Amino acid sequence: MKQLADLKGYQLIGNHSAVKTCLWLKKSLKDLGFCYKQKFYGIQSHRCLQMTPALLCNQSCIHCWRPLELLKEFKGWDEPEKIVEESIKAQKRLLSGFYGTEGVNLKKLKEAENPNQVAISLIGEPTLYPYLPELIECYKRRGFTTFLVTNGTMPEVIARVEPTQLYISLTAFDEKSHIELNRPVRSFWERILRSLEVMSESNSRRVVRLTLIKGLNMHEKAVERFDQLIKIAEPDYVEAKAYMFLGYSRLRLKYENMPSHEEVLEFSRKLGYEIVDESEQSRVCLLRP
């Protein structure tokens, strides 16, 4: 398993966690751009640590581009403090290869070795880790801002966490599309609806992310149903983002399923919310309900 992970740029931590540097961190180190989250929310891409505390998932979404073969059986949960400590070490190991690389901003590289933002969203479903609230607090104590992305299938965990920013990621707009697009081990639709209700009561900054797949969830019915779901969650923001034809998703979807930025904009206008910002290169719009 370790061999497989290393080939794909993953650093494994303990029994069930992993770290991987993202494309935008690498671009930022060379002053070639930055993640749309920096533009929208002010985090620094080169100081962002992307990780997961749970190399397991309860869904097998058709749009997932991650290597699902990393999701293996394991025995025993690691302690949150150990995961935090080892994730920072893993980030430094991943960054060590950038020394001597042409075009790298050395000031940024030094800063990147001391990350101050964690994106708990790498692969798998983080709310399956039973000590997730404690993990988030461990990062906070070290001065990190914390962005948590969840599929919304564990409302009881969502009720207990308080990250800087809480995402619920939606691709499905009703139970039928949930079964077809998320391919869960069993239907979690009622639990997702409950998670949206829980989100409305959260003290975190709340974001509903819509992953838009052309031909599957961008029609008029989906617009109406997504609007209803957003109203349940009462988020601070909505991100309407294109499915990207990358990685393993290419085995299940076609290039034609990836909407253009203009198509994402058109969908966003149909929702009727204020368009606060956009990133054409990431094909995403930031909306305020």
Distance CA 278, CA 276 (A): 7
Asked whether the beta carbons of 233 and 168 are under 8 A apart, the reply is yes
148, 163 in Cβ contact below 8 A?
yes
Q: Mind listing the pLDDT tens digit for each residue in 188-202? A: 999 999 999 999 999
Which class is 2-288 in CATH? alpha beta
Residue that is written with structure tokens 């139970």 in the block: 175
**277 three-class SS:** strand
Q: How confident is the model at residue 71 (pLDDT cuts 50, 70, 90)?
A: low
> Each residue of 205-242: pLDDT tens digit?
999 999 999 999 999 999 999 999 999 999 999 999 99
Instruction: Give the closest residue to 19 by CA, choosing from 68, 107, 108, 89.
Output: 89
Exposure on the CB side of residue 13, measured as CA atoms within 13 A: 27
181, 240 contact by CB (below 8 A) = no
Q: What band does 187 get if pLDDT is binned at 50, 70 and 90?
A: very high
pLDDT tens track for 19-58: 999 999 999 999 999 999 999 999 999 999 999 999 999 9
Tell me, what's the pLDDT at 213? 98
pLDDT at 2 over 50: no
